[in-house]
Structure formats: C-alpha cells, structure tokens
Amino acid sequence: MNSTRIDGTLINGIACNYLSIYDRAIHYGDGLFETVLCRKKPCSEAMLYYWQRHYQRLQTSAQKLKMDCPDERLLLDDIATLLEQMHQDENDQKASTQSYVIKIIVTRGTGERGYLFPDKNDINRIVSCTPLATDYSSLLTETLLSGELTVCQQQVSINEQLAGLKHLNRLDNVMARNEWNKQGYSGHRSRNNNFIDGLMLNADGFVIEGSMSNVFAVRGDEIITPALTRSGVRGVMRDVIIDIAKIMGLSLVVRDMTLAEIYTMDEIFISNSLIGLKSVTGLSAGNNAAGNNGNPQQRVLSRNSITQKIFDEIIRTTDTYAINL
C-alpha cells in the first residue's frame, strides 16, 4: 500500500490512499461498517457517542459473518491519531471544527477469485474522520430538529439471515437516497423538497426504515417501530430509544407496519447515530412511491409531544466515551 499521508483516513493504522483490488469488500461487499458521532471539546478532549454500543454491534456482526473483529484498542488508537491530525491541521489553518463523523469499515481482506473464503483471513480495518456540520445533528445542537419525509420506490431487500446487520451491501439504500434531491423527484413536488429522509418498504409491503435511518411512529401514547427480522438495519440509536422508552414506562411495540397505517399516526420520528432523533413534520409520497398505488398523498404532522419526551431523556442520559488528544 502507498504510505503517502492522506488526511482523514487510516488503513490498518497506516495513512493510505487505496485498498488492494483483491479485497473482498470491492468484489462482494464482504464486510461491515459503523458510523460514530464525535464531538470535540475545548479541553483537548473528544467524545465518541455510544461507542460501547457501536463496538459491541461490530463484534456481534463480525461473529455472525464469521469474520475477525479488530481489537477495540486498535480502533480507538486509530481514531485518536486521526483526531490529533485533524486538530493539528485546524491549528495550522486557524480553523475550528467541533464535530466529526468517524467511519469504521472492516473487510474480510484479500482473497482468491470466488465466493469461498478461507478459514482464516487477515481482515482490513479502515478508519476515517470527516467534519460534520453541528446543525445536522439533534444530538450536537441538543435541540429536536425536524423535517419532511418522502416515500421511496426502491425496496429494502428481504434476507432473514442478514437482517439487522450493517454490512457493506448497501445498494438498496444508495438507489433510494438518489430518488430525491432539493429539486424534488419523480415529477413530485411538495412544499419542501429538501427531505430529511425517504421511507423504504420491503416486498411484503411493510415500512422497514428510512434510506439512512430507523423509523418510529406514535399513535395516542403507543410508540411503534418496524420489526427488522426480515429486512433493515438494527441501528444503535434505535436500540437506545427502545431502552429509554422502557425505562420511562412508555408503551413501545415492535411490529410490522404498512404505509397506509403510518399515514394515520399522530407522530413520526427517525433516528440514526449521527442525527440522534429528528421529528417528522410531514410525509409526502409521489405517484410512483412504493405501496402508493399511483395516488399522491401528503400528511402534515403537528404533534411531537412523545418524541420530545424521548429526545429530552436522550440528551439527559447521552452515553459518551472520552478520547484525550
């Protein structure tokens, strides 16, 4: 590998600008990833949000895929190295970034042609650090942010063996995310085409998740989130919200949910490890949206009382891991 320093990325602890073309991640998407929110504090310290949950999920997923998992200390050392580098670069440029995205990719490593992998393979670990605008995240602003959702045509694949895992095969999400932009999509135009995400259904017709988030809906005092036994990613923030709802004594049910049903809900909110939570103010489905039967629909949501309660508790109990720079 090229040892030239490339800001923001380490491969196996070394600054590199490319991965071997024989890596199985390139050929088969054979690997896993985690996306961790990081906040720099004024006192030469950085905070990783929900680090232990992220690392535990990486360990569990690697075991399921019969892969080795990088040692936690190696990953933390890589993250510290990148943050120190970013901190030094910002001092040199007299700039100041307060928040970052830490992305960890673990691949099965290089191998011969074909799907069969050896019993023992040297994994590759890739750790990158990129700046994140503070106002993108409710966790960073400590204010419940909001926006509209759309409904995507692209379905989530059904695969019971891989459901829940954050593996590298993300074409469903790539295609879904590129269905809309600030100018709208598929000839459909709402009041605000700068959607915060798009809902994705599976072939069974159930709402599963957003293209980059998990989804929750509230009817009355009951919180509902889709079952992920056949499709979708089991997000870290999804687990946090489920745990907090139980502690708060709120009614939370994990079950299948149709698009028609979600249009009847009193509140909707989405979650992921970068945004924390965002409240949904409206739901807009175009003519060609999955499960929409050619009938455009719009729903304005003005209530967010349960969402706000959960968000306030998340801010009060946020779990962080400190890294000294």
- Residue 305 sits in the same domain as residue 162: yes
Residues shown for the chain: 325
Q: Is residue 325 pLDDT above 90, yes or no?
A: no
Query: What is the structure's pLDDT at 291?
Result: 55
- Domain endpoint, select from 132, 154, 180: 132
Q: What is the mean pLDDT of residues 120-130?
A: 94
Task: Tell me the pLDDT tens digit for each residue of 143-189.
Answer: 999 999 999 999 999 999 999 999 999 999 999 999 987 434 333 44
Task: Tell me the pLDDT tens digit for each residue of 267-277.
Answer: 999 999 999 99
- Residue 169 sits in the same domain as residue 125: no
pLDDT averaged over the chain? 89
Tokens standing for residue 143: 């204010």
The domain in which residue 266 lies consists of 141-317
Strand ranges across the sheet with 9-11 = 9-11, 124-131, 99-107, 31-41, 45-49, 320-324
- Residue 189 sits in the same domain as residue 304: yes
- Residue 230 sits in the same domain as residue 168: yes
The domain spanning residue 83 has which CATH number? Answer: 3.30.470.10
Q: What phi and psi values does residue 110 have, to the nearest 5 degrees?
A: -80, 160
Query: What is the structure's pLDDT at 186?
Result: 39
- Residue 202 sits in the same domain as residue 116: no
Is-contact 323 78, C-beta < 8 A? Answer: no
- Domain endpoint, select from 74, 99, 132: 132
pTM above 0.85, yes or no: yes
The answer as to whether 324 is a domain residue is no
Pair type for strands 207-210 and 320-324:
unpaired
- Residue 69 sits in the same domain as residue 99: yes
Range from 66-75, 97-106, 164-173, 178-187 carrying the lowest mean pLDDT: 178-187
Task: Tell me the pLDDT tens digit for each residue of 34-45.
Answer: 999 999 987 778
The domain spanning residue 190 has which CATH number? Answer: 3.20.10.10
- Residue 94 sits in the same domain as residue 151: no
The answer as to whether 276 is a domain residue is yes
Residues 6+ apart with CB under 8 A from 88: none
The C-alpha atoms of residue 181 and residue 196 are separated, in whole angstroms, by 10
The C-alpha atoms of residue 241 and residue 52 are separated, in whole angstroms, by 16
